[in-house]
Amino acid sequence: MVQPLGNCTRILGNTDMGNSMRGTVWPRSQLEMPALEKVPEGELGLSSGIGPQHLLQPQQLTAPHAVKDEQVRYAVPMEMRGSFLVLMLRDCYKDLSWLAVIAKTYGDVGLLVTDCLPQTPYFWAIQLTEERHLHMQQLLGALAQAEEQQPYLAKQKVKRGTRCLAQCVLGADSRAWNRCWVLDKVEDLAVVFFVDFGRSATIPVSSLRQLDEDDFWAIWPLAQPFMFQKAILPPRCIVQQVLRGEVVGPSPTEPHILQFAVCIGDTSRQLLFNLQ
């Protein structure tokens, strides 16, 4: 039998072990497990949403209200996390203010989707504003000319943090030269992040062109991260499509990721729900 004794514990009993240890006083610190540290939810990199029916297990659907109460958590994609974007902005633009600027967007918007993350509500898109359209024309025109003039990078000069130029696959038959940031290099392959489309790709090191002049990096990234306000899991076919709706506020875990609600009458909304 274990009997509490102030900050210590006395062991009693009639067994041989109990008899031999009877009267022995042990400090509580040697008998009790330490309390587990509680990790703040904000540090988990998760966001919440109401899970669609087809993601729930059959046993969870026993009650009619099970779907409404079920909370599904989606991990924030690495490329959208603030810690990742801070490194990208530091290496490529030497200025971090873009994160604060994009977080101020509210109200009705039109979005050109550049990439989406399968089985999550997250996507990248370019806001369709006059200013952004002008920047897009200026940047893509300058990059198209630079492609013919910029030399290819030597393999030994390609390393993490290098800013350069490479072809980004936009669709089945569509490619565009775009600014990119090297995430890693493995032998003859480089993992790059295309800053204007919000997507990563693995491409041959030999295909990277030099693009280190600051003039090419004077325009902020064209695309920015969004997430659907409701747990819509967008299909790949919305890439290069225009969505119209409203920015209703920031993500609860990453304030630079904006929550987007599709307009009720928008044809893109019908497309999303038909393919869920």
Q: What are 83-117's pLDDT values in tens digits?
A: 999 999 999 999 999 999 999 888 999 999 999 88
For the ranges 16-20, 220-224, 237-241, the lowest mean pLDDT is seen at: 16-20
Does the structure show a pLDDT above 60 at 196?
yes
Does the structure show a pLDDT above 90 at 135?
yes
Q: What are 57-80's pLDDT values in tens digits?
A: 444 433 333 334 456 778 899 999
The CATH code for residues 78-274 is 2.30.30.140
pLDDT at residue 240 in the model: 87
For range 15-21, the mean pLDDT: 46
Who's near 11: CB < 8 A, 6+ residues apart?
1, 2, 3, 18, 21, 22, 24, 26
Q: What are 250-270's pLDDT values in tens digits?
A: 998 899 999 999 886 555 555
Cα gap 2→100, rounded to integer Å = 59
Does the structure show a pLDDT above 60 at 24?
no
- Answer yes or no: are the C-beta atoms of 181 and 195 closer than 8 Å: yes
- Answer yes or no: are the C-beta atoms of 111 and 226 closer than 8 Å: yes
Q: Token match 């996507």: residue?
A: 123
